[in-house]
Amino acid sequence: MSHLFPNYARWPLAIVRGEGNYVWDEQGNKYLDFVSGIAVTSLGHAPAAVKEKLKQQLDQLWHSSNLFQHPLQEQLADKLAEISGLDRVLFCNSGAEANEAAIKLARRYAQKVLNQDRYEIITFTGSFHGRTLATLTATGQEKVKDGFAPLPEGFVTVPFQDIEALREAISSKTCAVMLELVQGEGGVNPADPEWVAQVAELCREHDLLLMIDEVQTGIGRTGSWFAFQQYGIEPDVVTVAKGLGSGFPVGAILAKEKTNEAFGPGSHGTTFGGNPLAMAAGLGTLEEIETHNLLSRVQELGDYFKEHLNRLVAQSSLVKSVRGKGLLLGLQLTIPVQEVLETTREKGVLFLPAGPDVLRILPPFTTNRSEIQHAVDVLSDVLEELEDKQKQHHSA
């Protein structure tokens, strides 16, 4: 009997080794990994340059705490400020923690800096912001809230891409709007740029913090450092985590200078946040993306992938559409995604779901055209098999 809680619906597969764009299971079977630990191992598994930085840090110092000065936190904060255009950084250990910090920052900014009694945060249907009590309340999906009542006050969810609904929801209590520019867990839904511009305008009008959750989209996944850079907006707060540490747990909140006072001494903190090993992993990851020009690689390979996936839309009645940006891609299926995932897995390629009928594809930035071609061929075969099976079923 397993002593683990059954909270994860795990696949019947134990991955025990990873190298580059491939992983191996206990039986020694090899898989092309287009899951990347859910948008985490963006440089592939055990990337040499990051490994080298981590090894050096292992010899130097593992942990000191935030009681002390932190040269590596300074370095990574400088780098994140440079690539985002934002000013202030606070490190934590996960995406949920980064969003939790954003929620706290928004409330405290309104109450302590603006001296106003505002606390409400507006979020959107289909969003995912994490599993802590506050972030699951912010999340626009009922399934993550089931059985956790009472939920914290101060959150309002309005329909995604409905500007009138947002306009109506803004009240004298609203302090911020939080959104994903490409909803990841919610089905790989890129937001319409016009709607996003209107959201930004409403935030400006009502003096609300515009907070972009880039936990999945950030650090190059969509082909720019951050997805917001493709939308021509200037967010007040951006959260990141998944792709920042190449697999080492690390998250961060980035914010505009005007929020600085809101997080004065004693306002917020975490024991592990900004741990030296996490900082080394983050610095190594950003350096690798820069050195190897991976942002333009993500754009180019993303376009290439999309072209080939569009072929599947034309070919198969089981595929409705292709969505996404860069190397965050989704296939809208007309059937449950589970069987497709199981069959591609048997053929040595790993994908993941985003909801019941969307197949999500999160390749490492280090993938190449021949791996993409192979993945699409496998998908094509699997879809054809399933289509034949369906036809037989119907004619029987």
Binding mask 184-213 for ligand PLP (x = CB under 6 A): xx---------------------------x
Site size toward ligand PLP (CB under 6 A) is 15
CB of 176 or CB of 382, closer to ligand PLP = 176
Residue 188 or 337 having the CB closest to ligand PLP: 188
- In whole angstroms, how close is the CB of 385 to ligand PLP at the nearest point? 31
Closest separation in Å from C-beta 215 to ligand PLP = 4
The tokens for 196 are 């996003």
User: Which residue in the shown chain puts its C-beta closest to ligand PLP?
Assistant: 95
Among 36, 41, 161, 216, binds ligand PLP (CB under 6 A): 216
Interface of this chain with ligand PLP, residues 221 to 260, rule: CB under 6 A: 241-242
Binding residue (CB under 6 A) for ligand PLP from 41, 73, 99, 316: 99
Question: Of 244, 248, 226, 236, nearest to 298 (Cα)?
Answer: 226
The 163-182 contact track toward ligand PLP, x by CB under 6 A, reads -----------------x--
CB of 252 to ligand PLP, least distance (A): 12
Beta-bridge mates of residue 212: 179, 238
The residues facing 138 across adjacent strands are none
Q: Which residues are registered as beta bridge partners of 178?
A: 211
Site string (118-157) toward ligand PLP, x via CB under 6 A: ----------xxx---------------------------
User: What residues numbered 36-95 form the site for ligand PLP, per CB under 6 A?
Assistant: 94-95
Question: What number of other Cβ atoms are within 10 A of residue 395's Cβ?
Answer: 6
Which sign does the torsion angle of CA 266, 271, 273, 278 carry? positive
The least CB distance from residue 96 to ligand PLP, in Å, is 3
What is each CA distance from 140 to 53, 122, 155, 178, in whole angstroms? 38, 10, 10, 11
Taking the least distance from each CB to ligand PLP, the nearer of 23 and 241 is 241
> 337, 353 in Cβ contact below 8 A?
yes
Taking the complex as a whole, how short is the minimal distance between the CB of residue 220 and ligand PLP, in angstroms? 15
Contact 92, 104 (CB under 8 A): no
Closest CB 214 distance from ligand PLP, rounded Å: 7
Angle between helices 48-60 and 276-291 (to 10 degrees): 150
Min separation Cβ 39 and ligand PLP, Å: 7
Nearer residue to ligand PLP within complex by CB, 184 or 302: 184
Amino acid type, 69: Q
Give the x-and-dash track for 350-379 against ligand PLP (CB under 6 A): ------------------------------
Q: Which is nearer to ligand PLP, 33 or 100 (CB)?
A: 100
- For ligand PLP, the closer of residues 53 and 129 by Cβ is 129
Contact with ligand PLP (CB under 6 A) among 35, 77, 90, 96: 96
Cβ of residue 100: shortest distance to ligand PLP, in angstroms? 9
Tokens of 18: 């990873």
Closer to ligand PLP by Cβ: residue 182 or 376: 182
The only residue of 50, 215, 281, 329 in contact with ligand PLP, by rule CB under 6 A: 215
Q: Of 70 and 129, which has the nearer Cβ to ligand PLP?
A: 129
> Closest approach of Cβ 387 to ligand PLP, in Å?
31
Least Å distance, CB 110 to ligand PLP, is 22
Which chain residues interact with ligand PLP by CB under 6 A? 94-96, 99, 128-130, 180, 184-185, 213, 215-216, 241-242
